[in-house]
Amino acid sequence: MKPPPFEYHAPTTVEEAYALLGSLEDAKVLAGGQSLIPLLNFRLARPQHLVDINRIADLDRIYERDGGVAVQALARQAAVEDSELAARICPLLSAAVGLVAHRVIRNRGTVCGSLAHADAASELPAVLLALGGSVVVRSSRGERTIPAGQLFAGVFETTLAPDEMIVEAWFPALREPFAILEESRRHGDFALAGVVRAGPKLALFGVAPTPVLADPRDPARELQPSGDLEATPEFRMHLVRVLTERAFAA
C-alpha cells in the first residue's frame, strides 16, 4: 500500500526542526524510517506532516560524555554496532544493537528512533532502562533530560511532547558482567521475550507494554504478558525465567 498524503519538510538545522514540530499540527519526525514508513504504508499512522531530520548536519556523532556513550539522533544502529568507542565503554550497547532486525535495517535505523518508537519488544529501550541511561530532548521551549525510567509510558508511547525531538541518547559505562538474551521465531524478528542484565540489574522486554525492571531472583513475579499467535502468556513467563537464569549464570 502507499502512504496516506502528508506534507514533507526537510529542515537543515535542529532549531529549524523543532520550530517546525512546534508550529505544525500533527507532525512526526522521520529519522531512519524503518518503523515509520511501514506504519504509513499500512495506514496505521496518518500524520499530516513529516519532518525529515536526515539533512541536519553534525547530528550523527557517537562520542564519550560523562564517562558514558552519547549517541546523537542520526547515528545509525549499524554505526553504533561498529563503534570501537561504544564497544570499549558500553559493550552491552554494542551487543544489543547487533540483535536489532537485520544489518540492512540497521544501516538506516537510528538508536534514538528506536527509543522514540518505544516498541515493547525492542532491545534498545530495555538496555537504556537496565543501564539507567537517559535522552536529551529539545523543543522551542528549551532542552530537558528524561531518565529512561520516565521515558516509556505505554505501548508505542513515550513521555515526549509532540513538539519535542530526541537529540541524543546517553548510555552509561558498564564494566560489570552483562548479557542480552532473547528468543524469537526467526533470526532478526522481534523478540517473543528478552532479558537484559547490566551488572546486578535486570530489565525485561516483550512481556509488558513497556520495558520493565525486574528482580533477578523472581523475574516473572507481577508479570502479566499478553498472548498472541506467536506465544502464550505462560510461554513468555517461562522464557523470562529461563533467559534470566542463563543471563546470571553466564
Ligand X SMILES: Cc1cc2nc3c(=O)[nH]c(=O)nc-3n(C[C@H](O)[C@H](O)[C@H](O)COP(=O)(O)OP(=O)(O)OC[C@H]3O[C@@H](n4cnc5c(N)ncnc54)[C@H](O)[C@@H]3O)c2cc1C
Contacting positions for ligand X (CB under 6 A) = 28-36, 38, 73, 100-101, 105, 109-110, 112-114, 116-117, 119, 122-124, 165-166, 190
Q: Which is nearer to ligand X, 175 or 186 (CB)?
A: 186
| CB of residue 218 to ligand X, shortest distance in Å | 26
> Is 4 in a helix, a strand, or coil?
coil
Q: Which is nearer to ligand X, 236 or 248 (CB)?
A: 236
Query: CA-to-CA distance for 113 and 220, rounded, in angstroms?
Result: 29
Using alpha carbons, select from 170, 240, 157, 238 the residue that is nearest to residue 203.
240
| CB of residue 53 to ligand X, shortest distance in Å | 6
Q: Which residue has the cell 538496555?
A: 127
| CB of residue 135 to ligand X, shortest distance in Å | 8
| CB of residue 69 to ligand X, shortest distance in Å | 17
Using alpha carbons, select from 18, 39, 20 the residue that is nearest to residue 156.
39
| CB of residue 239 to ligand X, shortest distance in Å | 15
Helix, strand and coil in the chain, % to nearest 5? 30, 25, 45
Q: Which is nearer to ligand X, 4 or 88 (CB)?
A: 4
Q: Which is nearer to ligand X, 33 or 233 (CB)?
A: 33
- φ/ψ of 25, rounded to 5, equals -80, 130
Q: Which is nearer to ligand X, 222 or 230 (CB)?
A: 230
Q: Which is nearer to ligand X, 120 or 214 (CB)?
A: 120
Residues 29, 51: contact at Cβ < 8 Å? yes
| CB of residue 244 to ligand X, shortest distance in Å | 20
Q: Which is nearer to ligand X, 158 or 244 (CB)?
A: 158
Residues 125, 159: contact at Cβ < 8 Å? no
Query: CA-to-CA distance for 207 and 237, rounded, in angstroms?
Result: 8
| CB of residue 221 to ligand X, shortest distance in Å | 25
Residues 192, 184: contact at Cβ < 8 Å? yes
Query: CA-to-CA distance for 186 and 50, rounded, in angstroms?
Result: 32
> What cell was used for 159?
513521555
Query: CA-to-CA distance for 161 and 145, rounded, in angstroms?
Result: 13
